[in-house]
Amino acid sequence: MKMTHIEVKAVNKVFKTDSREVIALKDINLDIPQGQFVCLLGPSGCGKSTLLNAIAGFSLPSSGTITADRKLVTGPGPERGMVFQEYALFPWMTVEKNIAFGLEIKGMPQAEIAAKVDQLLGMLSLSDFKHRFPKDLSGGMRQRVAIARVLALDSPIMLMDEPFGALDALTRRNLQDELLRIWAELKKTIIFVTHSIEEAIYLADRIVVMTYRPGTVKRDLMVDLPRLRDPSAAEFNALKRELGQLVMEEQQRHHNDEMRMAAVD
């Protein structure tokens, strides 16, 4: 039997502010098997980060349940590592120390930490930069360190919130390729938030398109193009058009909503 790593069942999330309620997620149901690469796709405000944060356990659903390996998610856990868009590195620690940090907290023996850190430095082409501080690295390098930090913890599940959103196109493609290589090697489950249609098609086994307010699943589709995928291929572009239409509908709803709110102000 295939073990389901993440199960999202009837999840709703409501944010209450003084003036109003926002239904950020409505009746989300997803079964994500071990090893699947899932992209959550949609325009700004459709609840992608809210869903990812709920799976991470940073912010719990208002109702419904999320389980990881059949255990109810009630907070962050070591089996779920998170990579943020902002690199979330400790500025006062070198690359090497940043990667080692989580292992030191876990109380891993120093020799094992050194071996693990070395392996990750190699895997992410960071060996020559291990004594540098984050401020002396490019955005792409910093994001490599952030990925290495999460990989150090051996979490079977990686949650990634627009991790390459701030990078230039070439660096972004390099890191996408590295992520695919690491994913194929380590067989992790990845849930990756993006609003880039091309990025989702390039990376994912499965794309979950979300609607804007309330955030629901608009389309849940498998991408069965062979890897490494060629963004100039006809099938790639056909899928890009199909998804573009879906995302545009939601973007339009977002836009209309903003216009309405501006009119009320």
Ligand X SMILES: Nc1ncnc2c1ncn2[C@@H]1O[C@H](COP(=O)(O)OP(=O)(O)OP(=O)(O)O)[C@@H](O)[C@H]1O
- φ, ψ at 62 (rounded to 5°): -70, -35
Distance CA 92, CA 187 (A): 32
In whole angstroms, how close is the CB of 161 to ligand X at the nearest point? 8
* Residue 141 interacts with ligand X (CB under 6 A): yes or no: no
* Contact residue for ligand X among 14, 22, 93, 108 (CB under 6 A): 22
In whole angstroms, how close is the CB of 233 to ligand X at the nearest point? 27
* Residue 19 interacts with ligand X (CB under 6 A): yes or no: no
| Binding piece for ligand X, criterion CB under 6 A, among 16-24, 121-129, 168-176, 233-241 | 16-24
* Three-state secondary structure call for residue 147: helix
Of 177, 146, 171, 152, nearest to 83 (Cα)? 146
By C-beta, is 30 or 117 nearer to ligand X?
30
Q: Residue 215 carries which DSSP code?
A: B
By C-beta, is 50 or 189 nearer to ligand X?
50
How many CA atoms lie within 13 Å of 166's alpha carbon, on the beta-carbon side? Answer: 12
Burial 249-261 (b: 16+ CB within 10 A, else e): ebbebbeeeeeee
* Contact residue for ligand X among 2, 17, 185, 265 (CB under 6 A): 17
By CB under 6 A, what part of segment 39-78 binds ligand X?
Answer: 42, 44-50
Any bridge partners for residue 80, and if so which? 157
* Residue 15 interacts with ligand X (CB under 6 A): yes or no: yes
By C-beta, is 99 or 247 nearer to ligand X?
247
* Residue 214 interacts with ligand X (CB under 6 A): yes or no: no
Total of residues contacting ligand X (CB under 6 A): 15
Judge residue 55's burial from the number of C-beta atoms within 10 Å of its C-beta, 0-12 exposed, 13-18 middle, 19 or more buried: buried
- φ, ψ at 198 (rounded to 5°): -65, -40
* Contact residue for ligand X among 97, 130, 173, 213 (CB under 6 A): 213
By CB under 6 A, what part of segment 176-195 binds ligand X?
Answer: 195
The residues that touch ligand X, with contacts defined as CB under 6 A, are: 15, 17, 22, 24, 42, 44-50, 195, 213, 215
